[in-house]
Structures are given as C-alpha cells and as structure tokens.
Structure 1
C-alpha cells in the first residue's frame, strides 16, 4: 500500500484513514494493513490499531472479514431493487403481484368512512389495533403489543435503530431478499450468512453465525424470497432451540407474504428471547401504495419504536389505516384476496409442472411469487442465453451473500400455461447445451 496512514492513538488512526478515503487515496475494496503490520509501522500497540479498525467498521468506512483482512467499504447505495426492470424482454424478473389481483382503490375509498384527526390523538385506529391483536394471537410469544410501520423494510430499519449500533452483525438467509440485505448494509450493519434449504434457514448455519457474535437474526418464516421456502414445523423447533441459548439476540420474523401464503406460519421465536418482532406487510396482497405493516413485538420494542415515531410525527396515516381495514374486513375485497392467493399458487404450480415435464425437477415445498431453479454451470451465462430467447429472469448473484448458489429466480405472476411450457422448453435446451 502506497498511501501513508498516520496517528499515535486509535482516534488519530481512524481520522487518518477516513481522510485518505475521503480524498480518494484509499478506494472501495482496498485492503488495509494487518493490525500487526500497521502497529509496527506506527510504533503503537496492536490494541490501538484494533480499536481504530473497530471504529472504522462501526462508521461504515471499512469492513473486517476475518482472515481476509480489513477492506474499505463500497460507497453506500440503494443497491439492486425489486420490481425495477427496463427491458423489451418477457419479464419473469419482476416480483410484483399482477395489477388486476389488487383491489380497485376507488371502490375501497367508496366503502371507507374517513375522518379527520388532530395531533395528539391516538395514532392507531382502535379497529386496526384489535384486528392486529387477533391476527397475531398464537403466532408469536404471548404478552405482546402491537404497532404499525410503513412496510416490512421500514419495520426492519426501525427495529435495528432501536436495538443495534453500526457495526453489529445481523444473520440473514443465504440467499437473501435484495431489499433486506441493502437496508442492513445501509444502516452500517454487517450481514452474516446462514444457509437456506427447502425448509428454511438451517439450524446449524444459524448456530455457527451466532457463535461469530451476531446481535440479531432476520428470518422469513414462509414464502422466502428468492427460494420460496417456508419453515416447517420441525425446522421451527430446531431454530427455536438454537435461539433459546441466545436470549439477548434480537429475533425478527418478516412474514411479508402472510395475506397470500398457502403454507402455515411456524414461529422460531423462543419465549425466552428478550427482544423480537413479527411483522406482516399488506403490500403484496393490497398493493405497494397501501404500504403498511402490522408489527407484533415485545412491549419494550414497541415502546422504543413508538417513541422514535412520535418526535417526527411520522406515524402511519390513519387514512391509510382506514383503507387497509376496509380491504381486510369487507367481503368483496376478502374474496379478491382469496382469488389472488389461488391465482398465485396456480401459476407457481403451472411453472413447476412445466419444468418437470421438460426434465427440470425442483423442490415442491414453495410459496410466494417466485420459483427458484438451480442450474448446472454458470447462472450468468444461462441468464444471457435466456435473454437471447426473449426471457428476463433474475440471477442468483442478486441474492447471494457468501455462497454462489448457481440458480435463477423466475417470477410467476405472468405465467400462463403456454408461457410456462415455452419457457421450460427453452431453459431445458440451454441447460442441455451447457452440460455438453
């Protein structure tokens, strides 16, 4: 390394490296000297350098990767986003629901009694609060309280802000939902990978991640994006057993697909866990602009979230709450939700059966808007070959944390029988070509 790091204290070393990064002399990905090497160069104790590197990690300037050393972080960015595509190809990459599955908002407004509220009045409508308490009964540890946030990612960010500090490690599924991984990194946290199979996060992988000092774990109990896995009853028992030995670890369950899920919810949260939350966004079933998440959590967490909401007057709009309540309790909109659930499950099954008919067998225990297809060879090459045949899908590299899963994610909302069989035939032909 040609740049010169200076300083006699942890603060001075931290400031030196931060300035070198700001000036562009240290670039994203650059490897910093080892603790011993830099201590010898500067004539200071190794603990001094170690403390400086810890501050860099917490500030999001550098990331420590064990034996791989400490490197300068990439500039913060929103990262790859779900639902953003700009192509003339047949889109099987967009994980959004079909527009016609969603309720007509004009009709929803026509069925909704709206009222004006003032500052200082209750920020959660009584009927919404009671609906949420009933919805989570039996789905999480008892004696919970309820609040509302602006979607699943907003809930994740608020829970991290309430309990964690920059530099803390958060266990996530590998592969992981794009937006969740982005939100954790942008908050200055470190993602720690835990492998996923057809039954959800693997218990031994979670245990190994927690032994690395993780302070939180984010788990998708069903319809995991991208794989579609749902945690089985047996797997939930195994995960609860692991987590029961770490009561101080923050446990977060993102049950984002609850309104459309066909698999049951098996919670992984032990009753001994101090701080936890289960959150259920309604955006998949009701649409992205009705972005609201019901959050069940321990009372201390609810208190911290609500305290942070209060100063900015940033509670969830009670107009939005009223519209959501209408959708969840009016017979016509409930029927539309059930129809959307059936459409989604049918299209997913249609694709899985079409793939099987062309010799591509995948796990059947799936839920959600996507099908995860492991492929032989380089997934990026297969993505490119599919694009030349007119198909757009997402590569596993968009979701991988540590492992290279070599798979493609195929969204099913546009999957008619003829489309499914043509896509399966094209994919089978491409895989056969790469296996030669």
Structure 2
C-alpha cells in the first residue's frame, strides 16, 4: 500500500479518505494501516487526530484493532453455523437439532391462532401472550418492574439487546466454549468478544472478574443447558457471580435460557435484585420447533423502552398470528405434556449414551440440553476425521472456542438423542475405536 494516498487534516477527512480507498479496492481486507504516530507525522496532524480517525473507522466497521499487529481493514469472518451440514452423505451427529418427532403438532393450535386483523398503531404484543410470558418468568425473575418484549427468536433478541446498549468495538463477555450464534452475533455486530471460561458449574468467577476488569459492557450467559458443554449454573456459583456483579449494576446481563421448558435442571440467575440492566430471553425454538421464530425478553423498564424503538409498528414487530399460535400451544395441556416428555427423552437418551461410553473406557457425563460434550484422550480433529471414514459427521470443540487456546480442542459435541438403538451402538463402537480406546465391546 502506498501510505501517502491517505489524506486529510481532520479526523473526519482522514476517515473518509480511508473509506474511499477501501471502496475503490485500493485497501482490502487484512491490509494494515500505518501506525497512529507514523500517520500523524505523514499528514502533519496531531496524534490525537489520527487516533480519532481510526476510532471513527472502527465504529463504522471499516477497520479492526489487532493490538500489537496494528489496525487493519476489517472483513466478514466466517463463523460455523448450527444445524445440518450441507451436501453431506455422512450421518450427521453434530446438528444440535431437536427431534422433529418430539415437536408438537400445530393442527389444533392453528385453528385457535386466527382472529381479527391487527393494524398499524395497535399494541405490538398480544396482551394474552404478554400475561402468559410474565407468568412464565415471574418465579425465576421476580422483579416487580419486569417488562416483556416479543422478538423474532432468541438470536434476534440478543442482537437487538446489544445494539440498543453498545457501540462498535465495545467489549462483550461470552462463555468459552460458546454457542455458535452468540459468536456470530457479537462478531458481526462489531463488538469485541472477551472469553469467560466455563466449567461444570457454568461461568467461572475468576473469568467473569477478569472480563469486568477488561471493561465489558455486556455479558451473555446461558444459565442451564449451556451450549456446547451442557453445563448448568450451580446455586453456589450463581450466588458468587451475583455478588461479583453487585459492583457493576449497569453492565447489561443477558441470560439466554434457550432450553427453558425442556430443561431438567432448576433455573439459577446472575441477575441480582439491584441489577439495573438485564434481560432474560426464552425462545420456543427447542420445544415448538426452530421455525417458530419467537422469543420473549423479560427486561428492566429502560431496556424494554429501548427495545420498543427497535421493534416499532410498521417495521419489524413480530406477527400477531405467530404470537397467537405460540400462545395457543403454551396454554394447551396436551402440548405441555408432550414438551415435558420430550425433555425427559433428551435427558435419558444422552445419559444412556454417556453411560455406554463410560463402560467402554471413554468417560462421559451427560449435562443438560440437546447435546453431549465428550472429552477425548486425543485431539478432536483426529477423532472426527476417523469417524468420517466410518460414516459419521461430528463437530469438534474447536468451532466453539473463543480465546487463544494453547492446544486444539479435545472435545466433540454430539447430538445423539435421535439415534436408533442400532445406530447408537455403532457410534459408541466407532467413537471408542477412533479415540484409541481398546476396551471390549459389551
């Protein structure tokens, strides 16, 4: 790059010059910009002017700061996606999907979801759904000022919650390993992900303390059925994290309780009684189906007001037909029994598979959620490649890692709840052999 092509004497002019070079293709993704001091000398401007120009570019998503590697032109980074792998003939055991046979039938609910048309200017939330949503969250989040917002799924809720509170390049604490959609949302929103390690009891206290010391303005936490690990906050861990957050009441805490009605574990929260910015997000995707793109966000009043501006009538409010359809199912005793049965099914299938692995010399423990997080004695990549030769497609833990890790992942995330007994037995055999274990088959 010819560094002299950047021009300008004010921060706005310098930023505009870099943007113009990027738009013309003279600067491409990954190209390094001159160091601040060097650019200031070349343009004969104050160093603070160059700093302000780079800040404007970062806020616009044109550049990204890489620490000692300098400031470079930004680009859209590829992020692994949930769901079935495209164009694969292998048996996919890394999907993270619910069992379609365990999703309640919509036929009876459809008849009850009809009603008079809703017009511009009317309330964006169906009053009956709002009341049902409040009842759903009151026991777990008893704040008297709790407000409900309806969004197009949990990912939409998280994206809008971050957008109403943050600027580009603000820091967000994420669990490490982390849910793929959260990684995607934070990266493409232009925020900086700060990893917080997760153990069997959830986010670690030391990890969250370090993230708060690093200046995070938001925290995304999965209180139970953490994806990919299956971890659930213990009461002691939740209390310790709340105590830590008591000194940071204005940090936005987003709890993504994605498994909610399917979970076999009690709900524990990071949100203390004095916390000022928070959201408990519960979607219906895991138990009513991924195509039911609806979630409720229970928030403090100010957050609710800000979200309302981003979900105003005439733009992106959630269809009232969909709201009524969800309400019809959430108030149907038969559907609720089917959901409860599905939750027990996922738990029992995962526990049985983990027990069989353990018997074969590959210790595994079933957490909560749709998946199993299986620890391996060798690199997950090696095991995944060996499984491919046996007809299986699995996800390695590397896809879910955030921070700089000293070694490749030694975990696989497996979705096994929908396997037949024969398929499950074969996968156990193949996984044990691929991991290098030689215990005899039972």
CA drift at 1:117: 2.9
Indicate conservation of the 8 Å contact 1:351/1:415, yes or no. Answer: no
CA drift at 1:2: 5.1
Partner of 2:436: 432
Query: Using a 3 Å threshold, how does the CA distance of structure 1 residues 114 and 44 change in structure 2: closer, same or farther?
Result: same
What's the CA shift string for 1:374-410, capped at 9, x where partnerless?
A: 3344322322221111111112222111144432211
Instruction: Output the aligned Cα RMSD.
Output: 2.2
Q: CA separation in 1, counterparts of 2:120 and 2:34?
A: 54
Query: Using a 3 Å threshold, how does the CA distance of structure 1 residues 202 and 68 change in structure 2: closer, same or farther?
Result: farther
Partner of 2:347: 345
Q: CA separation in 1, counterparts of 2:5 and 2:372?
A: 49
Partner of 1:6: 6
Partner of 1:324: 326
Query: Using a 3 Å threshold, how does the CA distance of structure 1 residues 16 and 378 change in structure 2: closer, same or farther?
Result: farther
Partner of 1:83: 83
Q: CA separation in 2, counterparts of 1:28 and 1:62?
A: 9
Indicate conservation of the 8 Å contact 2:176/2:402, yes or no. Answer: yes
Partner of 1:415: 419
Residues matched between the structures, number: 432
Match of 2:302 among 296, 300, 303: 300
Partner of 1:389: 390
Q: CA separation in 1, counterparts of 2:334 and 2:4?
A: 68
Partner of 1:56: 57
SS in structure 1 of the partner of residue 175 of structure 2: strand
1:155 aligns with 2:162: no
Query: Using a 3 Å threshold, how does the CA distance of structure 1 residues 357 and 403 change in structure 2: closer, same or farther?
Result: farther
Partner of 1:47: 48
CA drift at 1:60: 1.3
Query: Using a 3 Å threshold, how does the CA distance of structure 1 residues 19 and 111 change in structure 2: closer, same or farther?
Result: closer
CA drift at 1:260: 0.7
**Gap regions ≥5 residues in structure 1:** none
Match of 1:270 among 262, 269, 272: 272
What's the CA shift string for 1:345-372, capped at 9, x where partnerless?
A: 11111221122122122344x1111111
Partner of 1:201: 203
Partner of 2:360: 358
Q: CA separation in 1, counterparts of 2:239 and 2:277?
A: 19
Q: CA separation in 1, counterparts of 2:95 and 2:254?
A: 25
Indicate conservation of the 8 Å contact 2:120/2:314, yes or no. Answer: no
Normalised by the size of structure 2, how large is the TM-score?
A: 0.91
CA drift at 1:5: 5.1
Match of 2:410 among 400, 406, 409: 406
CA drift at 1:153: 0.8
SS in structure 1 of the partner of residue 122 of structure 2: coil
Deviates most, 298-307 or 134-143:
134-143
Q: CA separation in 1, counterparts of 2:395 and 2:5?
A: 42
SS in structure 2 of the partner of residue 316 of structure 1: coil
Partner of 1:191: 193
Match of 1:252 among 248, 251, 254: 254
Partner of 2:17: 16
CA drift at 1:313: 4.2
CA drift at 1:276: 1.0
Deviates most, 376-385 or 49-58:
376-385
CA drift at 1:100: 0.9
**Gap regions ≥5 residues in structure 2:** none
Indicate conservation of the 8 Å contact 1:60/1:166, yes or no. Answer: yes
Query: Using a 3 Å threshold, how does the CA distance of structure 1 residues 424 and 45 change in structure 2: closer, same or farther?
Result: farther
